[in-house]
Amino acid sequence: MFRFFENLVDPYQSYTEADEPPRKLWPFLWTYTAPFRGIFVIAAVLSVIVAGVELVLIWAMGWVVDILAKGPAAVWEEHGVALIALAVFILILRPLFQALDVLILNNAMMPQLATVVRWRAHRHVMRQSVGWFENDFAGRIANRIMQTPSAANEAMFQIFDALTYALAYVLGSLVLLGVADPWLMVPLALWLGLYAALMTWVVRKIRVASRNSSNARSQLTGRIVDSYTNIHSIKMFAHHGRELEYGREAIEHARSTFQKEMRLYTIMDVALAVLNGLLIVAVTGLALWSWGLGLATVGTVAAATALTLRINAMTGWIMWALTNFFQQLGIVQEGMETIAQPVTLTDRADAGPLKLREGAIDLEGVTHHYGRGQGGLDSIDLKIAPGEKVGLVGRSGAGKSTLVKLLMRFYDIEGGRILVDGQDISQVTQESLRARIGMVQQDSALLHRSVRDNILYGRPDASEADMIAAARQAQAHDFILDLEDSNGRCGYEAHVGERGVKLSGGQRQRIALARVILKDAPILILDEATSALDSEVEAAIQDTLYGMMEGKTVIAIAHRLSTIAHMDRILVMDAGRIVEQGNHAGLLERGGLYAGFWSRQSGGFLSFDDASDDNEAAE
C-alpha cells in the first residue's frame, strides 16, 4: 500500500530545463511542483471531505442529545438503525477518509515533493559557471539547496493539511449554525472578520520578519562554514578569538531577528485568546437565549457549544499553520535568490560536440576584463600548432590563468573568439570541450572521497591496472599504499578529506597528476602543476610530465622557469598582453622581461614584487 502511494510521482522524471527559472514566488512554485498538480487536487478534495466528516459528527452529537429526551426504549425503537449507521460511519468511513488523506499527504506528496524541488534546484545550480560559484559562499549555496525544498514542502503541506481543512471547516460551521438557527451565524461571521483582520496583520509582519530571520541564518551558516573550511589558516595565524567574534556577530544577528519574529507570535496568541473568548461567550450565550425562548433545542445548544469549542481549539493551530506557511514561503523566496538565478554561460541550442582532430588552438582578438574594464586579457592573438608545447610566464596578474580559464570556457569571453581545430568553442558543447582537455592546477582540490574515486574521476571506465599505472607514473602509488583514514580504510580505499585536506600538498598534486594522466586528453594544461612538489619528487616525475606531453598540444604556466625551459615556445605576458615569445635561448639573448625573470629567480622560482592576483582566481 505504501509503495503504491510513494510511486504515484517519480521525482526524477525527465523535464525541460530552463536557463532562466521564474523569479517570482508563485510562478517558481508552480513550475517546480508541476508533477504534483493532480496530487494537489486529490489532497484538497480529501481535506474538504475530512472537514465535512468532523462537522457531521458535531451535528450528530446535537441530534443524539435531542433524541435522548424520548427515553431509551423509544430511542432504540425509532432511531436504532440510524445509530448503528452512525457507528459504522465513525468506525469505518471516517478512518478510511482520514487514512486516504494522510497517505496522500505523508506518502505520496511529502517525501517526493521535497526531492523534486531539491533535485531540480541542484541540477540548475550545477549548470552555473565557475565564476558564479566564485561569487558566493559554497556553504550558503548548499544551505539554500537544502532549506528551500524543505520549506516548499512544508508550505504545500500546510495548504492541504491545515488551510484547506480550516476553510472548509469554518464555512461548514456557518452552514451548520445557519441551519440550526440563522442568528447563530452572526457572532461567528463577526468573529471570522476580526480573525481575518488579525491574520492579515500577523502574516504581513511575519513575512518580513521570517525572511529577515532566514537571511540571518543563511549568513550565519556561510560564516561558520567559511571558518571551518579555512581552519588551517585560522590556527596558523592564531586568530581564534577574532574568528569567534566574527561568528558571534552573525549568531547575535540571528538571535535578534528571531526575537522580533517571536514577539509577533506572542501578540498573535494573546489577541487570539481574546477573540476566541468572545466567540465562545457570544455563540453559546445566543444559543442559550434561543433555547430559553423555545427557538432552539438542547441539541442545538450542545452542537453550537461543541462547535465553538472546536473552533477555539483549532484557531491557534490554524494561525500557527498560516504563519508557518508564510514563514516557509519567506525561506523559499530567500532560496530563490540563489536557485532562480539564470544560467548565463550556456550551450547554443544547435551546439554539437567538439570534433578534435589535431589539437590546434587559435585566439583571435581575445579580450576579457571580468566586466571591470581592466585586468584580464586585452586583444590577444595567438596560434598554437597541433602538438606544440607552449610555456606561459609573467607576473602575477598578467593574465595567464585567465587565458586558460577562457580556453576551458569557464567564462564567456567579452571580445574575440577562441578556436580549437577551427571550431569556435562557444559553438560546441561545454562538456565535449572540457572532455578533450586535461588540466592540472596549482591548487588541485580533491573530492571528499576515496583515492580510487579521485583518480578514476579522470576516466571512470578505466581498469584497475590502468588506474595503478597512472598512479605509478605520478609517483603516487607508494605513498597511497601507506594511507589509512580514521575509519580504517587503507590504500586506494582511504578517503582524503574535504578538498584532500588529509594529504600533504605534494600528495594532493600527485593524485591530481595521476587523474589527468588517466584522462589522457589530447590537449593538456599545466597551471603550476609541480609547484607543490619538492625538488626530489619533481625531478622524479619530470620524465613523466614530458611523457604526458608527447603527442599533445600543451600550455604550461610556471613561475619555476626550469619547468618550461625546454618548451617549443615560451610566451611572456604582461598587463594582459603577450609581450615576448620565442624559445628559452632566444628569449635570454633578447635581454627582455624573460631574461630579467631568469636572472632574478631564486631556486628556480620567479621573484616578483607586484604580486597582485589578476583574478586568475575569478575576480
| pLDDT score of 608 | 45
Domain stop point among 311, 339, 367 = 339
Residues 172 and 267 occupy one common structural domain: yes
| pLDDT score of 611 | 39
Which residues, 6+ apart, have CB-to-CB distance to 579 below 8 Å? 572, 573, 592, 593
Strands 415-420 and 361-368: antiparallel
Rounded CA separation 510/504 (Å): 10
Alpha-carbon separation of residue 521 from 11, 144, 558 (angstroms): 36, 36, 20
Highest mean pLDDT of the ranges 64-68, 237-241, 513-517: 513-517
Residues 140 and 33 occupy one common structural domain: yes
CA nearest to 362, candidates 426, 421, 405: 421
Residues 467 and 330 occupy one common structural domain: no
- Assigned domain for 579 exists: yes
392-407 exposure pattern, b = at least 16 Cβ within 10 A, e = fewer: bbbbebbbbbbbbbbb
pLDDT at 605 over 70: no
Under the banding of pLDDT at 50, 70 and 90, the label for residue 294 is confident
- Assigned domain for 205 exists: yes
pLDDT digits (tens, 9 = 90+) for 470-493: 999 888 899 999 999 888 999 999
Under the banding of pLDDT at 50, 70 and 90, the label for residue 536 is low
Rounded CA separation 45/164 (Å): 9
CATH number for position 597: 3.40.50.300
Residues 114 and 198 occupy one common structural domain: yes
| pLDDT score of 1 | 77
pLDDT digits (tens, 9 = 90+) for 415-445: 999 999 999 999 999 999 999 999 888 777 7
CB of 365 closer than 8 Å to CB of 416: yes
pLDDT at 194 over 50: yes
| Overall average pLDDT of the 328-341 stretch | 85
pLDDT digits (tens, 9 = 90+) for 258-290: 888 888 888 888 888 888 888 888 888 888 888
Residues 238 and 306 occupy one common structural domain: yes
| Overall average pLDDT of the 304-320 stretch | 78
pLDDT at 537 over 90: no
Q: By mean pLDDT, which of 28-32, 97-101, 359-363, 497-501 is the weakest?
A: 497-501
Which domain does 128 fall in, by range?
Answer: 22-339
What are the two backbone dihedrals, phi and then psi, of residue 503, each rounded to the nearest 5 degrees? -110, 160
- Assigned domain for 11 exists: no
pLDDT digits (tens, 9 = 90+) for 345-386: 889 889 999 998 899 999 999 999 887 767 789 889 999 999
Compute CA 281 distance to the chain's CA centroid, rounded to the nearest angstrom: 50
Count Cβ atoms below 10 Å from residue 613 Cβ, excluding itself: 12
Which residues, 6+ apart, have CB-to-CB distance to 353 below 8 Å? 428, 429, 432
Domain stop point among 497, 514, 531 = 514
pLDDT at 208 over 70: yes
Residues 221 and 101 occupy one common structural domain: yes
Query: Taking all residues of the chain, what is their mean pLDDT, rounded to a whole number?
Result: 85
What amino acid is encoded at 536 in this protein? E
CB of 279 closer than 8 Å to CB of 187: yes
| pLDDT score of 571 | 94
- Assigned domain for 347 exists: no
CB of 584 closer than 8 Å to CB of 368: no
Burial class (CB in 10 A: 0-12, 13-18, 19+), 485: middle
Query: Percent of the chain having pLDDT more than 70?
Result: 95
CA nearest to 181, candidates 287, 258, 272: 287
Domain stop point among 471, 499, 514 = 514
| pLDDT score of 308 | 82
Rounded CA separation 585/577 (Å): 21
- Assigned domain for 14 exists: no
Rounded CA separation 273/275 (Å): 6
pLDDT at 519 over 70: yes
Residues 310 and 242 occupy one common structural domain: yes
C-alpha cell recorded at residue 165: 481543512
pLDDT at 3 over 60: yes
Residues 329 and 386 occupy one common structural domain: no
Burial class (CB in 10 A: 0-12, 13-18, 19+), 81: exposed
Residue of 608 and 155 predicted with greater confidence:
155
Strand partners, 113: none
CB of 447 closer than 8 Å to CB of 453: yes
pLDDT digits (tens, 9 = 90+) for 565-578: 889 999 999 989 99
| pLDDT score of 172 | 82
* Domains of the chain: total: 3
pLDDT at 31 over 70: yes
| pLDDT score of 609 | 42
Residues 547 and 582 occupy one common structural domain: yes
Which residues, 6+ apart, have CB-to-CB distance to 249 below 8 Å? none
pLDDT at 585 over 80: yes
Compute CA 224 distance to the chain's CA centroid, rounded to the nearest angstrom: 17
- Assigned domain for 259 exists: yes
CA nearest to 557, candidates 611, 606, 521: 606
CB of 295 closer than 8 Å to CB of 327: no
| Overall average pLDDT of the 552-565 stretch | 86
CA nearest to 356, candidates 253, 298, 428, 417: 428
CB of 204 closer than 8 Å to CB of 198: no
Alpha-carbon separation of residue 8 from 14, 38, 45, 107 (angstroms): 15, 10, 17, 9
Q: How many CA atoms lie within 13 A of 124 on its CB side?
A: 28
Question: Is residue 609 helix, strand or coil?
Answer: coil
Alpha-carbon separation of residue 422 from 145, 357, 426, 482, 565 (angstroms): 40, 10, 12, 47, 29
- Assigned domain for 4 exists: no
Residues 368 and 489 occupy one common structural domain: no
Q: By mean pLDDT, which of 215-224, 325-334, 609-618 is the weakest?
A: 609-618
